[in-house]
Structure 1
Amino acid sequence: MRVIFMGTPDFAVPTLMEIVGQGHDVVAVYSQPPRPAGRGMDERKSPVHEKASLLGLPVFTPTSLKSEEEQEKFRALDADVAVVVAYGLLLPKAILDAPVEGCLNLHGSLLPRWRGAAPIQRAIMAGDAETGVQVMRMDEGLDTGDIAMSETIAITNTMTAQDLHDRMMVLGADLMVRALAALSRGSLGSQPQPEEGVTYAKKIDKAEARIDFASPASEIHNKIRGLSPFPGAWCEMTIRGKAQRVKILRSELAEGQGAPGTLLGDGMTVACGDGAIRLVELQRAGKGAMKADDFQRGADLKVGEVIG
């Protein structure tokens, strides 16, 4: 099939690779424009842009698709279908209608639960036991299109957002090429989303990343998992007389009780408003991630100290 691929982050790269590997004719790749990054703030191409360039595919990076000029350029590609994976730009109706078979989107939840920008993080933060990847026929709404294919993924009690992201991007790539194969045979059906169970996965705000140890341990554990590694749930600790922000990258539920934020006697176990949590992997600003035992020795934290 003649495919336009539209994606930006590393999450989208495996899908692009699978589409090319299956022999489809990728006539163009659309990605977000290069942006300043790193210490030198040099402009950096997106992961999809980098991979597409290595594959010798034409890459377009418009800042908007609303102009008639951009829409005509898109139509002129004469694509059978557009595949959209975490692209990051609004697709106007003229773009959605341009390919013969419309636009297929790979979404990281079981719709209609977690429509929107951050479905992976929100599912974990909410304590969901399962989620999934879905191929959706796009319409003008926010993740409201009919569902063509689905795969369910269990969310274990230790799984972080990074863990789930990595699982989804591999499974999602396979799901999308299966959808394209069905589409090429004329056998890709779809079903409207249920009207009940709609939730929205709003973009993660860094302001919500601070840990409140007065919350229940299970809620804190889910927040840590859902925000790991970025932006990272964090708290303040007094390390050798200086207050420092520390990210908590992994945790586990633990036994114990005490005033919220108090370090208990079992490693980096912290009392919460209900129950306790053991901090498993931590990261100080400007430092690498460390296991709890190594971190505690270096920080010289004592039982009975209060963090938060």
Structure 2
Amino acid sequence: MTLRIVFMGTPDFAVPTLRALVAAGHTVVAVYSQPPRPAGRGLEMRPSAVHAAAEAFGLPVMTPTSLKGDEAAAAFGTHGADVAVVVAYGLLLPPTILAIPRFGCLNLHGSALPRWRGAAPIQRAIMAGDAETAVEVMQMEAGLDTGPVAMRAPTPIGADETTGDLHDRLADLGAELMVAALAALEDGSFATTPQAAEGITYARKIEKAEARIDWSRPAREVHDTIRGLSPMPGAWCEATIGGKVERLKLLRSTLAEGAGEPGTILDDRLVIACGTGALRLTQVQRAGGRPMAAEVFRRGVGLSTGAKLG
């Protein structure tokens, strides 16, 4: 049978799943997404990535600011959905909404649950130095990412992999996984397993203060912070360029050999001393500029061995 689906998602992480559902021949009866937000220099109202993708498919888009209340539940019920597919939507689904679709609501989550429940699972996994993660299809319930898991696709995290890299891989893996989960719903083989009671961690939102690099920390921790916050919001430090202090965004790095006073440039490859060990910057970005190879940046601004990053 072809399922009637309400798709609920907002950022670009959710777009591959929406495309995969349409390609699989399912009937997407409605798309829910966060309302358009001001963006760009002109602060023009811009629809979300999912909103734009849905319109390209000719799908109806709803952008409520809340799903609470009888009116929201009644509107949701008019779609006659067999299942709701939720991918990084951004609004909590109250019990009244969760109970409406015939097969409930399925969520695609980018971590190996119960590790990293919450808002920033990809960033937190990398910032914690995790060697592997997963993308999972979970049957939603009222708790925060507490529902039983139906399907799981594990994947290693590369030593220098950034959140941007892993985000894109998990988005594609997740799209395939959700299509498989819906196929299981169709043929009656869909089953779930409760999450483990041990190993629960929460992926809280990234705070601005976390993005400033503290070179006195061990190189491994600094490296994981850089790649975990890349490309957004971007870890940063201060550098004196042409006699002026500038904020320098650090986008990529790799562990390196070396030691010295934390923050000191140790060689012409931009190896930087940390509290313990050292790392080499491989991609940086000046304020208002584009990302560039760190060595090209160093030659262009004249940073020399022995200089310090603040």
TM-score range, shorter chain: over 0.9
Question: Which residue, 136, 145, 148 being the options, matches 1:146?
Answer: 148
Q: Partners of 2:248 and 2:189 in 1: how far apart?
A: 52
Q: Partners of 1:258 and 1:26 in 2: how far apart?
A: 58
Query: Which residue of structure 2 aligns with residue 251 of structure 1?
Result: 253
Structure 2 unmatched ranges of 5 or more: none
Q: Partners of 2:76 and 2:219 in 1: how far apart?
A: 50
Q: CA deviation at 1:67?
A: 2.3
Q: Partners of 1:111 and 1:72 in 2: how far apart?
A: 32
Query: Which residue of structure 1 aligns with residue 7 of structure 2?
Result: 5
**Taking structure 2 as the reference length, what is the TM-score of the superposition?**
0.98
Query: After superposition, where does 1:60-79 map in structure 2 within 5 Å?
Result: 60-79=62-81
1:194 aligns with 2:214: no
Query: After superposition, where does 1:226-241 map in structure 2 within 5 Å?
Result: 226-241=228-243
SS at 1:32 equivalent: coil
The one-letter code of the counterpart of 1:35 is R
Q: Partners of 2:38 and 2:24 in 1: how far apart?
A: 34
Query: After superposition, where does 1:21-60 map in structure 2 within 5 Å?
Result: 21-60=23-62
**Taking structure 1 as the reference length, what is the TM-score of the superposition?**
0.99
Query: Which residue of structure 2 aligns with residue 131 of structure 1?
Result: 133
Q: CA deviation at 1:266?
A: 4.2
Q: CA deviation at 1:110?
A: 0.5
Q: 1:95 to 1:139 in 2, by over 3 A?
A: same
Query: After superposition, where does 1:116-127 map in structure 2 within 5 Å?
Result: 116-127=118-129
Question: Which residue, 275, 279, 282 being the options, matches 1:280?
Answer: 282
| Identity level (%) | 63
The one-letter code of the counterpart of 2:245 is A
Q: Partners of 1:302 and 1:54 in 2: how far apart?
A: 50
1:256-289 CA distance string (max 9 Å, x none): 1111011112410111000011011000000001
1:231-252 CA distance string (max 9 Å, x none): 0010000001000000110001
What is the root-mean-square deviation of aligned Cα atoms in Å?
0.6
The one-letter code of the counterpart of 1:43 is M
Q: Partners of 1:138 and 1:39 in 2: how far apart?
A: 38
Q: CA deviation at 1:184?
A: 1.0
The alignment covers a number of residue pairs equal to 308
Q: CA deviation at 1:125?
A: 0.4
Q: Partners of 2:161 and 2:235 in 1: how far apart?
A: 15
**Where does structure 1 differ by over 4 angstroms across 4 or more consecutive aligned residues?**
none
Question: Which residue, 79, 84, 87 being the options, matches 1:85?
Answer: 87
Query: After superposition, where does 1:287-302 map in structure 2 within 5 Å?
Result: 287-302=289-304
Q: Partners of 1:265 and 1:37 in 2: how far apart?
A: 40
1:16-49 CA distance string (max 9 Å, x none): 0110111111110000000110111110000100
Q: Partners of 1:94 and 1:31 in 2: how far apart?
A: 18
